[in-house]
């Protein structure tokens, strides 16, 4: 990508944005950064073609100074006359490349008369000091925010005024460190993970160039490289630029975790950030709204996280050893997730989305509503568990056993619903609906048994006691699972892939699920 757009800074800034939006993990950004730094060497190789000597037509045509004007004309024509957005974008890339090549050629011609100016010659000679050359190139790259431009300028001087290897090497290394300022600036408004991505880029370029210079000039001190006083010419700069990046890639790509660790140590996770990360869906980045298909997929990922939070919260409630405080955190998180997703889905709906995308958006919206309401029901169950049951111990013990069996069954259907939504499985949606029928039958048996025991003991049954209230909440949870299953079925009908099971298949699913429930009925003493 960097070789195509001719800018490592652009790809590095893109990496910051990808991490900030949650599209990729911080550890994977290191590979993008290392690749971008290697890809940027292509610019120097293309510019080196201007140094080719030869009178043949082929040699003349492959020079950037020759083909760039024609490339610019083609690019302008593509931008003006092509209706396809992709072709217009290609035209923009080609135009940028052509303008850069033409600019470098004009710069080379402009600086050629400076060869005979003593002050310029004296300044260039001072760059033979490695430290001074490194710092100058670093500051210059920070100023213009492009290592490609700095190296291109060095090449222009090399072709017009004669720059030695001793001058060029520190400039090449310094430019690569200075260009890191672009990513650092772009990360100022990003999350901490975005800032850590920019730090990875900085550390990589420092650890790539500084050790190279230390080793290289140490060997020069011992061996005395004679070529350092020779003109670098057009080919020497891309050779050394590529060599530095190849060595850096070979060393640091396997050690990318070290770069991530350095960034994490520089900007460690605080307790508040951990909590914010848990409650904030960073993948819902407004910058992705320009590409609705990607934004919808991000919303889908967010709903999947919401479903897991609800599943974990429900498991914590029905597990008697669960921590009520942790359950409260999960319920609060699910409520915040739903609110963030609702707002993001509203923003997506205002964009231009095709029919299939609208159907997908409707599925995600329904699932978000259902899982969000399930989270509120789980929170209600947590609150109820702290209240007194209000009936005698022998009734309570039996009731709790039956409610435990029913609660375990509902945990299974919630997990099945989460799995079905995540996989977008129409077959699982059929299973969920059949599973619901079996659980509703089980819930009816449990409720009737409780009422019979209560009458036998002369207990008053009212809608406020724990058993009745819990039964109602559990039935609502089942209804929301069915709501998601129905949304999955309607989604496939809408996109023209209606593959609902026939009556025979539906009956086989029911029989298989009934077999799974035999152990539950046996535990209840039902044959």
Q: Give the Å distances, CA to CA, from 34 to 11, 192, 256.
A: 10, 20, 9
Hey, what are 313's tokens?
């919260």
- Long-range contacts of 507-510, Cβ-Cβ distance < 8 Å, separation of 24 or more: 509/430, 509/431, 509/434, 510/434, 510/437, 510/438
Please tell me the least confidently modeled range out of 135-149, 290-304, 499-513: 499-513
Highest mean pLDDT, choosing among 222-231, 350-359, 364-373, 393-402: 364-373
Q: Is the pLDDT confidence value at 394 over 50?
A: no
Q: Is residue 166 very low, low, confident or very high in pLDDT (cuts 50, 70, 90)?
A: confident
Beta bridge partners of 231: 164
Q: Give the Å distances, CA to CA, from 290 to 219, 281, 294, 349, 351.
A: 52, 18, 9, 12, 8
Question: In the prediction, which pLDDT does 499 show?
Answer: 55
In the block, which residue shows the tokens 């609902």? 500
Per the model's pLDDT, the better-predicted residue between 392 and 112 turns out to be 112
Q: For the purposes of burial, counting CB atoms within 10 Å of the CB of 355, is it exposed (0-12), middle (13-18) or buried (19 or more)?
A: exposed
Query: Which residues are CB-contacts of 186 (< 8 A; sequence separation ≥ 6)?
Result: 13, 16, 17, 194, 198
Question: In the prediction, which pLDDT does 373 show?
Answer: 93
**Span 263-307, pLDDT tens digits:** 888 888 766 666 655 556 777 877 778 888 888 998 998 899 899
3-state secondary structure of 391: coil
Hey, what are 516's tokens?
């799974």
Run of H or E residues at 5: helix 2-5
Hey, what are 314's tokens?
């429900």
Question: In the prediction, which pLDDT does 450 show?
Answer: 78
**Span 75-90, pLDDT tens digits:** 888 888 888 878 888 8
- Asked if 199 contacts 163 with a C-beta cutoff of 8 angstroms, the reply is no
**Span 445-480, pLDDT tens digits:** 888 877 787 777 766 665 555 667 777 888 888 899
Q: What is the mean pLDDT of the chain?
A: 79
Question: In the prediction, which pLDDT does 360 show?
Answer: 92
| Structural domains of the chain, ranges and CATH numbers in brackets | 2-62+118-268 (no CATH), 277-386 (1.20.58), 391-527 (no CATH)
Phi and psi dihedrals of 65, rounded to 5?
A: -65, -20
Hey, what are 455's tokens?
């009458």
Q: Is the pLDDT confidence value at 365 over 90?
A: yes
- Cα–Cα distance measured from residue 433 to residue 503, given in angstroms and rounded to the nearest whole number: 14
153 CA to centre of own chain: 36
């Amino acid at each position: 990508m960097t070789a195509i757009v001719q800018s490592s800074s652009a790809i590095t800034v893109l990496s910051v944005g990808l991490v900030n939006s949650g599209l990729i993990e911080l550890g994977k950004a290191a590979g993008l950064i290392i690749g971008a730094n290697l890809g940027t060497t292509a610019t120097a190789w293309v510019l080196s073609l201007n140094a080719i000597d030869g009178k043949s037509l082929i040699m003349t045509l492959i020079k950037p100074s020759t083909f760039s004007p024609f490339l610019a004309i083609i690019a302008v024509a593509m931008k003006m006359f092509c209706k396809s957005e992709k072709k217009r974008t290609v035209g923009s890339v080609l135009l940028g490349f052509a303008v850069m090549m033409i600019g470098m050629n004009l710069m080379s011609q402009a600086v050629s008369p400076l060869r005979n100016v003593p002050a310029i010659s004296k300044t260039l000679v001072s760059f033979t000091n490695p430290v001074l050359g490194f710092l100058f190139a670093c500051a210059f790259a920070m100023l213009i925010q492009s290592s490609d431009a700095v190296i291109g300028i060095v090449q222009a001087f090399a072709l017009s005024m004669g720059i030695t290897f001793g001058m060029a090497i520190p400039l090449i290394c310094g430019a690569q460190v200075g260009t890191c300022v672009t990513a650092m600036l772009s990360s100022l408004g990003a999350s901490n993970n975005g800032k850590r991505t920019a730090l990875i880029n900085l550390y990589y370029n420092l650890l790539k160039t500084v050790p190279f210079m230390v080793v290289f000039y140490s060997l020069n001190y011992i061996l005395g490289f004679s070529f350092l006083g020779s003109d670098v010419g057009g080919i020497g700069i891309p050779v050394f630029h590529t060599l530095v990046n190849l060595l850096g890639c070979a060393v640091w790509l396997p050690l990318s975790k070290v770069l991530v660790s350095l960034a994490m140590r520089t900007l460690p996770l605080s307790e508040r950030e951990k909590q914010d990360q848990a409650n904030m869906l960073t993948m819902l980045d407004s910058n992705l709204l320009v590409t609705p298909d990607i934004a919808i997929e991000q919303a889908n990922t967010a709903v999947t996280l919401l479903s897991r939070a609800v599943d974990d919260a429900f498991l914590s409630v029905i597990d008697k050893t669960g921590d009520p405080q942790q359950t409260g955190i999960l319920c609060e998180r699910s409520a915040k997730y739903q609110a963030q997703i609702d707002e993001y889905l509203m923003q997506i709906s205002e964009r231009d989305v095709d029919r299939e995308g609208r159907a997908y958006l409707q599925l995600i919206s329904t699932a978000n509503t259902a899982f969000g309401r399930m989270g509120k029901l789980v929170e209600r169950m947590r609150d109820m568990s702290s209240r007194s049951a209000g009936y005698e111990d022998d009734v309570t013990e039996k009731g709790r056993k039956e409610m435990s069996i029913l609660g375990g069954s509902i945990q299974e259907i919630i997990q099945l619903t989460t799995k079905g939504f995540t996989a977008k499985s129409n077959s699982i949606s059929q299973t969920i609906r059949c599973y619901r029928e079996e659980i509703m039958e089980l819930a009816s048996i449990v409720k009737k048994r409780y009422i019979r025991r209560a009458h036998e003991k002369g207990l008053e049954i009212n809608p406020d006691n724990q058993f009745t209230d819990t039964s109602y909440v559990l039935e609502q949870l089942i209804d929301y699972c069915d709501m998601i299953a129905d949304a999955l079925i309607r989604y496939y009908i809408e996109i023209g892939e209606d593959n609902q099971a026939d009556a025979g298949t539906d009956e086989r699913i029911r029989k298989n699920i009934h077999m799974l429930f035999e152990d539950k009925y046996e535990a209840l003493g039902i044959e």
